């Protein structure tokens, strides 16, 4: 198992490298640089600024400087747009908000999804099965910005009980987390139902019931672990999605999270900030995928790693 983790970590590092390199050169390929858009600087000032950010050196040298700085110092560099703050600072502040929204969404998604999936599985082919599953079908199809706006209109405009912009108060987190969470809850509900139904139909469950074990024990102790396996493996990409899907949620609810930095920096050609955002996202996605894969092995004793 340990060797497996090492192998995955190594794969993750390589992927990260590919991501950094691709993004780096893609950004450089674009016409225009970080300082070409706004106020025309006198040429001497421009030269000084470019020297400060190493933009006057050949691309490969810039690449090497960047890699060295990131790997050795964990310093993502100064931002070209927000000239008084470093990328590390900006990302830390954005990550603070994005992580909170993401965590809340994850909680909502898992709670709502697993519970409704269980409900559906235990009442197979009865109305308590169809209703949650139909809602789940809607949740899977509806785009996040549509759901976000619907909730805003419903709770913010008509009923006027929840704030719809900004997160100055803790209530401001409710709508964003619920929006993001519900969409993933739909997939989780479907997966839970499918997984539980499959496990509950197996012989060993029938044996347990025949032995006279109380339903509760049969459910919690024996079937839950197996039934939740597909959910666990889905949680990897799902968490990644919640972290990146927050792009939309942050825009709708005006949350100063990472997503805003990412998009704006790509448009403004703020090389360092864009690279920094990409790296942070990529690291989180890779890390979650690895964690989930290891968790999979813990939950299912049949899984072996070679």
Partner 1 sequence: MDAFLRLLRNKAAVIGMLFVFAMVFAAFVGPAFQQYSYEEEDLDRANNPPTTWDVQKFSEGTGIQLNAADFKKWGGVYWNTKHYLGTDDLGRDMLVRILYGAKISLTVGFLAAVVSLLIGVSVGAVAGYLGGVVDEQIVRLIDTLYSLPYMFFVILLMAIAGRSFYLLFIAIGAVSWLTTARIVRGQVISLKNSEFIEAARSSGTGHFGILAYHLIPNTLGPIIVFFSLLVPRAMLEEAFLSYLGLGVQAPMASWGSLVADAQNYVTIYPWMVVLPGLALTLTLFSLNFIGDGLRDALDPKLRGKQ
- Tell which one of 1, 6, 22, 45 touches partner 1 (CB under 8 A): 22
Rule CB under 8 A: say whether 11 interacts with partner 1.
Answer: yes
Cα–Cα distance between 90 and 304 in angstroms, integer? 42
Q: Tell me how crowded residue 25 is: count the other CB atoms within 10 A of its CB.
A: 12
**Cα–Cα dist 180/153, whole Å:** 16
User: Of the candidates 156, 194, 256, 297, which one interacts with partner 1 according to CB under 8 A?
Assistant: 156
For partner 1, the closer of residues 81 and 222 by Cβ is 81
151 near partner 1, rule: CB under 8 A: no
Residue 191 touching partner 1 (CB under 8 A) = no
Under the binding rule (CB under 8 A), the answer on residue 289 touching partner 1 is: yes
d(CA 192, CA 211): 26
Alpha helices in 201-270 (DSSP H): 203-210, 215-217, 224-227, 229-253, 258-268
Taking CB under 8 A as the binding criterion, the range among 39-47, 113-121, 223-231, 284-292 that sits at the site for partner 1 is 284-292
Distance of alpha carbon 11 from alpha carbon 290, whole angstroms: 10
**Residue from 138, 161, 298, 303 binding partner 1 (CB under 8 A):** 138
CA dihedral (78, 81, 83, 86) positive or negative: negative
- Return the residue of 4, 41, 63, 145 that touches partner 1, per CB under 8 A: 145
Q: Is 293 exposed, middle or buried (0-12, 13-18, 19+ CB in 10 A)?
A: middle
Nearer to partner 1 among residue 83 and residue 158 (C-beta): 158
Assess 14 for contact with partner 1 (CB under 8 A): yes
Which positions from 68 through 127 interact with partner 1, judged by CB under 8 A?
none
Binding test (CB under 8 A) with partner 1, winner from 105, 110, 219, 266: 266
């Amino acid at each position: 198992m340990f060797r497996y983790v090492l192998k995955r970590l190594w794969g993750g590092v390589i992927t990260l490298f590919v991501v950094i390199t691709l993004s780096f050169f893609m950004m450089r390929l674009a016409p225009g640089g970080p300082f070409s858009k706004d106020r025309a600087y006198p040429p001497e000032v421009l030269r000084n600024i470019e020297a400060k950010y190493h933009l006057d050196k050949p691309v490969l040298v810039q690449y090497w400087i960047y890699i060295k700085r990131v790997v050795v110092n964990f310093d993502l560099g100064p931002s070209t747009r927000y000239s008084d703050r470093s990328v590390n600072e900006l990302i830390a502040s954005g990550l603070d908000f994005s992580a909170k929204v993401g965590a809340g969404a994850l909680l909502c998604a898992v709670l709502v999804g697993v519970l409704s999936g269980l409900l559906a599985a235990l009442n197979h082919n009865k109305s308590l099965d169809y209703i949650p599953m139909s809602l789940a079908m809607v949740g899977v199809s509806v785009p996040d910005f549509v759901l976000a706006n619907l909730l805003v209109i419903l709770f913010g405009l008509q009923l006027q009980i929840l704030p719809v912009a900004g997160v100055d108060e803790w209530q401001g987190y409710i709508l964003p987390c619920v929006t993001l969470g519900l969409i993933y809850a739909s997939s989780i509900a479907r997966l839970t139902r499918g997984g539980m139904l499959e496990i509950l139909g197996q012989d060993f469950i029938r044996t347990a019931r025949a032995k006279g074990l109380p339903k509760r024990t049969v459910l919690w102790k024996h079937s839950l672990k197996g039934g939740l396996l597909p959910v666990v493996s889905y949680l990897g990409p799902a968490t990644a999605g919640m972290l990146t899907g927050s792009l939309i949620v942050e825009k709708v609810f005006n949350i100063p999270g990472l997503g805003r930095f990412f998009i704006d920096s790509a448009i403004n050609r703020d090389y360092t900030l864009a690279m920094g955002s990409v790296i942070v996202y990529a690291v989180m996605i890779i890390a979650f995928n690895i964690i989930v894969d290891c968790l999979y092995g813990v939950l299912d004793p049949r899984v072996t790693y070679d």
